[in-house]
Amino acid sequence: MIGFDEMGIANTSAACLMSRICNVKIDACMGRSTGLDNAGLNHKRDVLAAALAKHAASTDPVETLATFGGFEIAMIVGAFLAAADARITILVYDFIVTSALLVAHAPNPAVRDYCVFTHASDETGHGRMLEHFNAEPLLQLGLRLGEGTGTVLALPLLRAAVAFINEMASFESAGVSDKAV
Domain spans, the chain: 2-161
Letter string b/e over residues 114-124, b meaning 16 or more CB atoms within 10 A of that residue's CB = bbbbbbbbbbb
Q: Which fold has domain 2-161?
A: Rossmann fold (3.40.50)
- Quote the DSSP letter at residue 138: S
CA gap 89, 82 in Å, rounded:
11
pLDDT in the model for residue 142? 79
> What percent of the chain has pLDDT above 70?
96
CA gap 140, 161 in Å, rounded:
18
* Residue 150 or 73, more confident: 73
Give the number of other Cβ atoms within 10 Å of residue 5's Cβ: 22
Q: Is the pLDDT of residue 181 over 70?
A: no
What residues are annotated to the active site? Answer: 147
pLDDT in the model for residue 123? 82
Q: Is the pLDDT of residue 31 over 90?
A: no
What is the average pLDDT score of the chain?
90
> What percent of the chain has pLDDT above 90?
65
pLDDT in the model for residue 173? 78
CA gap 113, 90 in Å, rounded:
9
Q: Is the pLDDT of residue 116 over 80?
A: yes
CA gap 65, 59 in Å, rounded:
10
pLDDT in the model for residue 7? 72
What would the pLDDT profile of 118-158 be if each residue is shown by its tens digit? 988 888 889 999 999 999 999 998 776 767 788 889 999 99
CA gap 63, 61 in Å, rounded:
5
CA gap 180, 39 in Å, rounded:
67
Q: What is the pTM of this model?
A: 0.88
Q: Is the pLDDT of residue 6 over 70?
A: yes
